[in-house]
Structure 1
Amino acid sequence: MSQSLNSETSTVDDAILQLQAANDELVQRVNEQITLETFDSTDEEVLKQLVEGLGDPRGLVRLRFAETLGEIGEAATPFLIAALGNHPNVVVRRAAAKTLTIISDPSAVPNLLHAFLNDEDTVVRSSSAGALARTGEASVPALLEIIASNEHPEDIKGHAAWALAFIGSEAAEYLYQALNAASLDVRCAVIGALGHVAQEQSDEKSCSLLVSALTDPEAIIRTEAAAALGQVNYPPSVPHLILALQDRDLDVRKAAINSLGKIGDRTALEPLQTKLDDSQEVIRVLAKLAIAQIERQSEADDW
Structure 2
Amino acid sequence: MPHVFLCYDENDTGLIEDIVARLRIAGFSDTYDSVAISRQADWPTAVEQAIGNSFAVIILLTPEAISNPLIVYARGFARADRVPIIPVLYRDGVDSSWLGSNYIDLTEQANIKVPDLSEIIAAVRRTYDQFAGAVPETPSAPANKGDNQPALGRENGSSDFFSQTPGINDILRDHEIVDPEPSREFLSPQSDDPTLKIWLNESLNKLQNGDTRERIDAARALGDLRDSVAIDALLKALTDFSIQVRKAATASLGHIKNPRAIPGLVEVLESPESDSELRETAALALGNIGHVDGIAPLQQALNHDGEMFVRISAARALGMIGDPSASSVLSGVIRGARYNRLRRAAVLALGEIGNAAAIQDLLSAISDDDEEVRRDAALMIIKLWGPRALNQSLLHYDWRVREAAAWALGETRSPDVVPQLVEMLGDEDRVVRQSAVWALGSIGDALAVPDLLQRLELDRNARVLWLTIWALGNIADPTAIPALSQMLIDDDEGMREAAAKALGKIAHPNAVPPLRATILNEFIPKVQMAAIEALSQIHDPQVVQILTQALEDENAEVRQTTARSLQMIGTPEAIEALNRWRGRNSRDQI
Q: TM-score, normalised to structure 2's length? A: 0.38
Alignment of 1:75 with 2:255, yes or no, is: no
Q: What residue is the counterpart of 1:229 in the other structure?
A: 409
Name the counterpart of 1:207.
Answer: 387
Q: For residues 25-61 of structure 1, what are the alpha-carbon distances to aligned partners after superposition, in whole Å with 9 as ceiling and x for unaligned?
A: xx89xx9x9449xx9x9xxxx99745424x64444x7
Bigger fraction of residues in helix: 1
Higher relative contact order (CA 8 A, sep 6+): 1
Instruction: Indicate the SS of the match to 2:239.
Output: helix
Deviations along 1:38-90, one digit per CA (max 9) or x if unpaired, are x9x9xxxx99745424x64444x743454347647333323322321224131
Counterpart position of 1:156: 342
What is the one-letter code of the residue matched to 1:21?
N
The answer on 1:219 being equivalent to 2:399 is yes
Q: Alpha-carbon deviations, 1:88-147, whole Å to 9, x = none?
A: 131643442232122122333332233234434455334323322312234333222211
Tell me if the contact between 2:247 and 2:281 (Cα under 8 Å) persists in the aligned partners.
Answer: yes
Q: Return the match for 2:334 from 108, 129, 147.
A: 147
Q: How many residues align?
A: 262
* Structure 2 residue 239 is the aligned partner of structure 1 residue 52: yes
Check whether the contact 1:172–1:194 (CA below 8 A) recurs between aligned residues: no
Map 1:282-301 to 2 at 5 A.
282-295=463-476
Q: Is the 8 A contact 1:223 1:252 kept in 2?
A: yes
Match of 2:283 in 1: 97
Q: CA deviation at 1:247?
A: 1.1
Structure 1 stretches lacking a partner, 5+ long: 1-18, 199-204
1:93 to 1:291, Cα distance in 2 relative to 1, 3 A: closer
- Equivalent in 238, 263, 270 of residue 443 of structure 2: 263
CA–CA separation in structure 1 for the residues paired with 2:464 and 2:421? 15
Q: Encode CA deviations 1:243-272: one digit per residue, 9 max, x unaligned.
A: 111112222111111111122233322222
Q: Is the 8 A contact 2:331 2:358 kept in 1?
A: no
The aligned counterpart of 1:106 is: 292
Aligned 8 A contact 1:51 1:96 in 2: no
| CA distance in structure 1 between the aligned counterparts of 2:365 and 2:438, rounded to whole angstroms | 29
Q: Distance in 2 between matches of 1:66 and 1:180?
A: 34
Aligned residue for 1:14? none
Indicate the larger mover: 67-76 or 282-291.
Answer: 67-76
**Which residue is 2:367 aligned to?**
184
Residue type of the alignment partner of 2:459: D
In structure 2, the CA distance between the partners of 1:57 and 1:48, relative to structure 1 (3 Å rule), is: closer
Cα separation, 1, equivalents of 2:281 and 2:361: 33
Within 2, Cα distance between the matches of 1:20 and 1:92?
20
Residue 232 of structure 1 and its aligned partner are, at CA, apart by: 0.9
Instruction: Report the AA paired with residue 330 of structure 2.
Output: L
1:12 corresponds to = none
In the alignment, structure 2 segments of 5+ residues that lack a partner are 1-206, 480-505, 508-590
Name which of 270, 273, 292 aligns with 1:85: 270
Letter in 2 for 1:264: G
Deviates more, 1:74-83 or 1:173-182: 173-182
Q: 1:208 to 1:182 in 2, by over 3 A?
A: closer
Contact 2:406–2:432 (Cα < 8 Å) also in 1: yes
- Cα distance in 1 for partners of 2:256, 2:436 equals 46
Residue pair 1:219, 1:252 contacting (<8 A) in 2 also:
yes
Q: Is contact 1:87-1:93 (8 Å) kept?
A: no
Output the CA distance in 1 between the equivalents of 2:235 and 2:466: 60
Identity %, equivalent residues: 25
Picking from 330, 354, 367, the partner of 1:171 is 354
